[in-house]
C-alpha cells in the first residue's frame, strides 16, 4: 500500500485528501478559464487597458467583500459556505461558455461575470483558509496551507498549458465548459466529508460591525502583523498584475500565440509550484524574514528582466523565477502571520491578509493597465518591477543593519 510521505502529514487525514484532490481538479479548470478569458478579452478588444479592467473587475470584490466573508466564516458552517460558492462559480463558468457559444459575448459580459466570480471568491477564500484547522488540526495546519498552495500553483502550471492546446485546436469556448465541469470534483469531495461530531460554532455576542472592527484594530495594534500585510499589499499592487498582461507578450512581443500564452503561464505556475513544495518540505527554516526579502529580490529582478525580454527561452526562465519568488513571499508571510495571530482572531485577520493580497491587485491592474495604455506594456511592467525591487532591497537592508 502506498504511504503518505512524512513531509506531507496533512494528507493522512481523509477529509483533507477529499478536499485537496477535489481542489486540484477544480483549480486546473479555473486556470484554464483564466487563460481563455485573457485571450478572449484580447480578441474582443485588442487592448491591454481592457485586460487590466477585466483583471480589476475580478479582483476588486476581494477588496470590497473579503472582510465580510471573514466574519461570515466565523459565524456559519464553513463547508456549507464553500459548497455554495463552488456551485455559484460553476454556474458562472457555464454562463460565460453559453454566451461565447451563441456569439453574443461582449467585453461587458466578461467584466460582469468576472466581478461576480470575484464576489464568490471573496466569501469562499476566508471560509477555505479557516477550514483547514477543522480538517487537520493545529499541529499540521501549516503543512495543509503549503499543500493547498502547491495544489493552487500546480494547477496554475498545468491549466494554462492545457488551455493553450485546447484553444489552438478546439477554440476558447471549450475551456469555459471544462472549468464548469471541474467544479463537480470539488463539490463531490466536500459532500463526502465526514466529521465525528459537529464542530462547535463560536458564540455570537457582538454585532457584525464590532467583530469587523475587532479584527482591524488588532492588525493596527500589532506592528508585526501590520508590516507583513503592508508588504504583501505593495507586492500585490505593483508586482502581481504582470499575469494580466501575459496575453500581450504572447501575441505582440514574443509572437507565440495562444499556445505560447499557455506555456508562459505554465512556467510561472511551475516556479510557484516548486516554491510551495520546497516550503512544505522545509519547516526548519529559522530566518523566515531573510527568506522573505531574498524571495522579493528574486521576484522583482526576474520580473524586471522579463518585462524587457523579447527572447522566448529567457522569458520562460524569468517567469519560473517570478513564480518561485511570488509564492515564497506569500506563503512565508502567511505562515509568519499565522504564528503571530491568536486563534480567536484568525479568520478575520487572515481575511484581511486575503483582502490585501488579492484585492490590491485589482487597483494594481487598473494602474498598470493605464500605464501600459500610455507608455506600452513593457515599460509599465518595468516600472512596477523596479518599485518592487526597491522595497525588497530596503527590507533586506533593515534586517541586516538592525
Set out the domains of the chain in order of their start, with CATH numbers. 12-193+208-401 (1.20.1250.20)
Determine the pLDDT at residue 2: 44
Going residue by residue through the chain (402 aa), what tens digit of pLDDT does each one get? 445 555 677 788 888 999 999 999 999 999 899 889 988 998 888 887 888 788 778 878 877 888 888 778 777 888 999 999 999 999 999 999 999 999 899 999 999 999 999 999 989 988 887 787 778 876 777 677 778 878 887 787 788 888 888 888 888 999 999 999 999 999 999 999 887 655 555 555 566 667 767 777 777 777 778 778 888 888 888 888 888 788 888 888 888 887 788 788 778 878 888 887 777 666 545 566 677 778 888 998 999 999 888 888 999 999 999 988 888 888 778 777 767 777 667 667 777 787 787 767 777 877 888 888 888 888 888 998 888 888 877 766 665 555
* Separation between Cα atoms, residue 78 and residue 201, nearest integer Å: 10
362: number of Cβ within 10 Å: 24
> What DSSP character marks residue 243?
G
> Cβ contacts of residue 266 below 8 Å, gap of 6+?
156, 157, 158, 160, 161, 164
* Separation between Cα atoms, residue 149 and residue 140, nearest integer Å: 14
* Separation between Cα atoms, residue 239 and residue 368, nearest integer Å: 10
* Separation between Cα atoms, residue 42 and residue 46, nearest integer Å: 5
* Separation between Cα atoms, residue 229 and residue 222, nearest integer Å: 11
> Cβ contacts of residue 231 below 8 Å, gap of 6+?
292, 333, 391, 395
401: number of Cβ within 10 Å: 6
> What DSSP character marks residue 35?
H
> What DSSP character marks residue 356?
I
Provide the CB-side half-sphere exposure for 124 (13 A, CA). 19
Amino acid at each position: 500500500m502506498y504511504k503518505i510521505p512524512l513531509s506531507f502529514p496533512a494528507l493522512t487525514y481523509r477529509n483533507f485528501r477529499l478536499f485537496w484532490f477535489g481542489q486540484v481538479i477544480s483549480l486546473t479548470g479555473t486556470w484554464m478559464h483564466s487563460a481563455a478569458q485573457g485571450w478572449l478579452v484580447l480578441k474582443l478588444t485588442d487592448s491591454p487597458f481592457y485586460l487590466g479592467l477585466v483583471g480589476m473587475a475580478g479582483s476588486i470584490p476581494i477588496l470590497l467583500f473579503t472582510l465580510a466573508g471573514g466574519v461570515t466564516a466565523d459565524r456559519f458552517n464553513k463547508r456549507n459556505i464553500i459548497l455554495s460558492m463552488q456551485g455559484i462559480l460553476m454556474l458562472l463558468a457555464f454562463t460565460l461558455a453559453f454566451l461565447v457559444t451563441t456569439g453574443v459575448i461582449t467585453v461587458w459580459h466578461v467584466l460582469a461575470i468576472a466581478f461576480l466570480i470575484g464576489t464568490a471568491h471573496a466569501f469562499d477564500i476566508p471560509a477555505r483558509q479557516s477550514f483547514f484547522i477543522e480538517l487537520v488540526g493545529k499541529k499540521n495546519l501549516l503543512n495543509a496551507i503549503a499543500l493547498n498552495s502547491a495544489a493552487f500553483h500546480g494547477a496554475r502550471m498545468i491549466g494554462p498549458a492545457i488551455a493553450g492546446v485546447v484553444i489552438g485546436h478546439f477554440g476558447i469556448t471549450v475551456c469555459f465548459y471544462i472549468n464548469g465541469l471541474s467544479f463537480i470534483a470539488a463539490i463531490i469531495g466536500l459532500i463526502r466529508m465526514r466529521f465525528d461530531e459537529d464542530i462547535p460554532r463560536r458564540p455570537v455576542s457582538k454585532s457584525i460591525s464590532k467583530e469587523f472592527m475587532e479584527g482591524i484594530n488588532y492588525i493596527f495594534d500589532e506592528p508585526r502583523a501590520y508590516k507583513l500585510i503592508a508588504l504583501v499589499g505593495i507586492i500585490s499592487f505593483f508586482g502581481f498584475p504582470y499575469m494580466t498582461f501575459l496575453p500581450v507578450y504572447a501575441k505582440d512581443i514574443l509572437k507565440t500565440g495562444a499556445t505560447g500564452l499557455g506555456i508562459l503561464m505554465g512556467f510561472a505556475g511551475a516556479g510557484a509550484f516548486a516554491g510551495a513544495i520546497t516550503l512544505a518540505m522545509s519547516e526548519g527554516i529559522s530566518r523566515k524574514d531573510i527568506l522573505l526579502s531574498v524571495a522579493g529580490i528574486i521576484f522583482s529582478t526576474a520580473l524586471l528582466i522579463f518585462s524587457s525580454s523579447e527572447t522566448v527561452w529567457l522569458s520562460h526562465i524569468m517567469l519560473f523565477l517570478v513564480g518561485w519568488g511570488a509564492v515564497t513571499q506569500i506563503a512565508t508571510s502567511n505562515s509568519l502571520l499565522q504564528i503571530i495571530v491568536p486563534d480567536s482572531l484568525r479568520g478575520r485577520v487572515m481575511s484581511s491578509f486575503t483582502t490585501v493580497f488579492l484585492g490590491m491587485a485589482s487597483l494594481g491592474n487598473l494602474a498598470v493597465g493605464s500605464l501600459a495604455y500610455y507608455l506600452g506594456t513593457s515599460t509599465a511592467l518595468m516600472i512596477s518591477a523596479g518599485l518592487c525591487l526597491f522595497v525588497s532591497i530596503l527590507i533586506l537592508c533593515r534586517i541586516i543593519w538592525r
